[in-house]
Structure 1
Amino acid sequence: MLKSRIITALILIPLVIAALFMLPPLPFAIMTIAICMLAAWEWGQLAGMGTPVQRVTLAVICGIGLFALYWPTYISPLPMLLHPAVEGFLLASLGWWVLALLMVLFYPASAQFWKHSRFLRLIFGVLTIVPFFWGMLTLRQYGFEENSYTGAWWLLYVMFLVWGADSGAYAFGRLFGKHKLAPKVSPGKTLEGLVGGLISSALLAWLFSLYAPLHISLNTLLISSVLAVLASVLGDLTESMFKREAGIKDSGNLIPGHGGVLDRIDSLTAAIPVFACLIFLVFKG
C-alpha cells in the first residue's frame, strides 16, 4: 500500500505542477471541471445514490452547470472576481465550513438532522465542489495579464501548504500523538498532529514568502495560511464524517493506493476556497 501511494504521488505531483504552469485559462478550467465531475460522481455515493446511472447523471449535471457558470466569466472583459456568482460562492464557502465545523464537533448527534435527507447531502456537495472550482480558477487567474505564472505560484503554494501540513500532522501524530482530535469522526487524528501541521504550514509560508513571487505582506500570508490549513483539516474530517455515515472506507478507487478523487482533494476543497476568499475578499490582496 505504501509503495503504491509513493509511486502514485511521484507521478501525479509533476503532472499537477505541469498543468498549473503550462495550461492556458480555458484548458485549465476544463481540467478543473473534469476533476469536479469525478468528485461529484463520488459524492453521489455519500449522498445515498446507489446506482451508477444516478451518479453519472450527477457528474454530468455538475460538469454542465460549472461550464455554464464559467463561460460568462471567460468571455467577459471584467476580472473574474467582479462577477457576483464567483464572489457569492467564495463567501458561501466560509459559511459552509463554519456549519461543517459544527456538524463535526457535535457528531454523531448532528447527523440526525441530515443523514436521512438526500437533498441536504447534495446541497452539502454543491457547497463543497462549486467553491473549490471557483477558488482554483480565481487563484490561477490572479495577475494573469501581467504575468501568466503568478496565479500558478499561488495555487502551488496552497497545495504545498496543505500537503506539508498533512505530512507534518502525520509525523507529529505518530511521534507525539496522545490526545484525539475528533475520535468519533476520525480516530487517527490527534491534537499533537494538528499542532505539528500548523508549525509545518507556518514554516512553509515563511520559506515561500522568501523565494516565491508572492507579493503580499507576511502577516496577511501567515494568517490566511494558518486559517487555510485549519480549513484543510476540517475538509478531511467532514469527508470522513460523510463516509462514516455512508458506511464506506474510501470515496472511490480511481487512484491506486490513495482511494478516490475526493480522498485526495478533501483537504483542498476547503483550503483553496477559504484561502482565495481571505486573500481576495477579506484582505483585498
Structure 2
Amino acid sequence: MLKQRIITAIWLIPLVFGAIFYLPPSLFAWALVGVFLIAAKEWGRIIDAGCQMTQWSFTLTLGILLVALNMLVPASDVWHSGQLHPIFLAVTILGGLWWVIAMALVVSYPKSARLWQRSHMLKSMFGQLTLLPCFVALIALKSLSTEASPYLGGVMVFLVMLVVWAADSGAYFVGKALGRTKLAPNVSPAKTVEGLVGGLLTTMIVVAIVMSLSPQQELGLVIAVTLFTALASALGDLTESMFKRVANIKDSGTILPGHGGVLDRIDSLTAALPVFTLIYIAFWM
C-alpha cells in the first residue's frame, strides 16, 4: 500500500503543480471539468452504490452544470475591477452556507442521517453543493493571475493546498502519537481532538512561510485565515467520511492506487477552497 501511494504521488504531484502554475486559467478551467466528472461519478456511489444509472445520471447533471459555468463565465471574465463575477460569487456563498449545514449534519450524526440517507434527491443536492463551489473557487483563485503577476493565481491555490496538507499531516502524526479523545467517533473513529489540535499547530508553519515571503501582511489576519481554512478542511474530510459510512464504502474510488478516488484526495479541499475564497474576497480584495 505504501509503495503504491509513493508511486502515485511521484506522478500526481508534478501534474498538479504543473496545472496550477503553468496552465492558462482558461485551459485550467476546462481541465478541471474532467477531474470533477470523475469526482461526480464517485459521488454517484454515495447516492446509490449499487445503481450505475443513478451514478451516471448524477455525473451527467454535474457535467452539464460545469460546462455551462465555463461557457457563461470564461476564466477571463471571472474577475472585473476587483469584483468576482456575480454567478461565481453566488455559487461560492452558497458553498459557504452548505458547509455550515454540513457541520450541523456531522455534529448530529447519526440522527441527522435519518433525514437524508434514503433520499437520492438530497444526496444528489449535497453532492452538487460540495463539488460546484469547490470547482468555482478553484477557478476564481487561479484567475487572479495577471500579466503583471502571472503566478499569483497558482500561488493562491497552492497556499490553500499547503494549509490542507499541513493540517492533514499534523493531525495524522500527532493523532497517532498522542490521540486519546475521539473527535467524532460516530463519523470517523480514528480522528482525535489531539490530532486536530496538532494539525492546526502544524499549519503555523504555513503562517511562517507567508510572513517570511510577504512580511507586510497582518500577522493576526494570516493566522486567523489559516486556522479557519484548516478547520474547514477538517470538516470537509469528516463530511465525506459521514456520507461514505452511510453508503458503506471505504474509498470513493480506485483511480489513484494507494490513495483511493479523486473524492478521497479532494474531500478537505471541497470545504477549504470556498471558505478561503470568501475570506479572500472579504479581507483582501
TM-score using structure 1 length = 0.94
Deviation at 1:89, TM superposition (A): 1.1
Alignment counterpart, residue 208 of structure 2, candidates 191, 199, 206: 206
Report what 1:174 is aligned to: 176
User: Does structure 1 retain, via aligned residues, the 8 Å contact 2:174–2:195?
Assistant: yes
Deviation at 1:71, TM superposition (A): 1.9
Deviation at 1:76, TM superposition (A): 6.6
Deviation at 1:149, TM superposition (A): 0.6
Deviation at 1:209, TM superposition (A): 3.0
Report what 1:163 is aligned to: 165
Task: Provide the C-alpha distance between the structure 2 equivalents of 1:43 and 1:78, rounded to a whole number of angstroms.
Answer: 27
User: Does 2:225 match 1:220?
Assistant: no
Deviation at 1:210, TM superposition (A): 1.4
Report what 1:247 is aligned to: 248
Task: Provide the C-alpha distance between the structure 2 equivalents of 1:47 and 1:264, rounded to a whole number of angstroms.
Answer: 19
Deviating more after overlay: 62-71 vs 18-27: 62-71
User: Does 2:56 match 1:47?
Assistant: no
User: Does structure 2 retain, via aligned residues, the 8 Å contact 1:135–1:272?
Assistant: yes
Task: Provide the C-alpha distance between the structure 1 equivalents of 2:87 and 2:46, rounded to a whole number of angstroms.
Answer: 26
Q: For 1:135-150, list aligned pairs within 5 A.
A: 135-150=137-152
Task: Provide the C-alpha distance between the structure 1 equivalents of 2:20 and 2:189, rounded to a whole number of angstroms.
Answer: 34
| Alignment length (residue pairs) | 283
Could you say if the C-alpha distance between residues 275 and 215 of structure 1 is closer, same or farther in structure 2, counting changes exceeding 3 Å?
farther
User: Does structure 1 retain, via aligned residues, the 8 Å contact 2:183–2:193?
Assistant: yes
Task: Provide the C-alpha distance between the structure 2 equivalents of 1:151 and 1:11, rounded to a whole number of angstroms.
Answer: 22
Deviating more after overlay: 13-22 vs 178-187: 13-22
CA RMSD between the two structures: 1.8
After superposition, the C-alpha distances for 1:23-46 in whole angstroms (9 at most, x for unaligned) are 011110011111111111011111
User: Does structure 2 retain, via aligned residues, the 8 Å contact 1:132–1:269?
Assistant: yes
Give secondary structure in 1 for the equivalent of 2:189. Answer: strand
**Which amino acid is the alignment partner of residue 64 of structure 1?**
I
Deviation at 1:179, TM superposition (A): 0.4
Report what 1:34 is aligned to: 34
Give secondary structure in 2 for the equivalent of 1:109. Answer: coil
User: Does structure 2 retain, via aligned residues, the 8 Å contact 1:206–1:218?
Assistant: no
Q: Which 5+ residue runs of structure 2 have no aligned equivalent?
A: none
After superposition, the C-alpha distances for 1:1-29 in whole angstroms (9 at most, x for unaligned) are 11211221122111111111110111100
Task: Provide the C-alpha distance between the structure 2 equivalents of 1:32 and 1:144, rounded to a whole number of angstroms.
Answer: 20
Task: Provide the C-alpha distance between the structure 2 equivalents of 1:10 and 1:214, rounded to a whole number of angstroms.
Answer: 33
Alignment counterpart, residue 83 of structure 1, candidates 75, 85, 92: 85
Could you say if the C-alpha distance between residues 110 and 77 of structure 1 is closer, same or farther in structure 2, counting changes exceeding 3 Å?
closer
Could you say if the C-alpha distance between residues 2 and 75 of structure 1 is closer, same or farther in structure 2, counting changes exceeding 3 Å?
closer
Deviation at 1:160, TM superposition (A): 1.3
Q: For 1:11-160, list aligned pairs within 5 A.
A: 11-48=11-48, 50-74=50-74, 77=77, 79=79, 81-160=83-162
**Which amino acid is the alignment partner of residue 132 of structure 1?**
C
Deviating more after overlay: 58-67 vs 246-255: 58-67
User: Does structure 2 retain, via aligned residues, the 8 Å contact 1:140–1:154?
Assistant: yes
Deviation at 1:49, TM superposition (A): 5.7
Deviation at 1:77, TM superposition (A): 4.9
Report what 1:258 is aligned to: 259
After superposition, the C-alpha distances for 1:143-193 in whole angstroms (9 at most, x for unaligned) are 424312101011111111101110111110011100000010000000010
Q: Which 5+ residue runs of structure 1 have no aligned equivalent?
A: none
User: Does structure 2 retain, via aligned residues, the 8 Å contact 1:153–1:214?
Assistant: no
User: Does structure 1 retain, via aligned residues, the 8 Å contact 2:145–2:154?
Assistant: no
Deviation at 1:228, TM superposition (A): 0.9
Deviation at 1:57, TM superposition (A): 3.3
Identity %, equivalent residues: 45
Report what 1:229 is aligned to: 230
Deviation at 1:202, TM superposition (A): 1.8
After superposition, the C-alpha distances for 1:205-257 in whole angstroms (9 at most, x for unaligned) are 2213313x697433322211111110110101000000010011111111000
Task: Provide the C-alpha distance between the structure 2 equivalents of 1:200 and 1:126, rounded to a whole number of angstroms.
Answer: 31
**Which amino acid is the alignment partner of residue 271 of structure 1?**
A
Could you say if the C-alpha distance between residues 147 and 75 of structure 1 is closer, same or farther in structure 2, counting changes exceeding 3 Å?
closer
Task: Provide the C-alpha distance between the structure 2 equivalents of 1:134 and 1:78, rounded to a whole number of angstroms.
Answer: 10
User: Does structure 2 retain, via aligned residues, the 8 Å contact 1:154–1:214?
Assistant: no
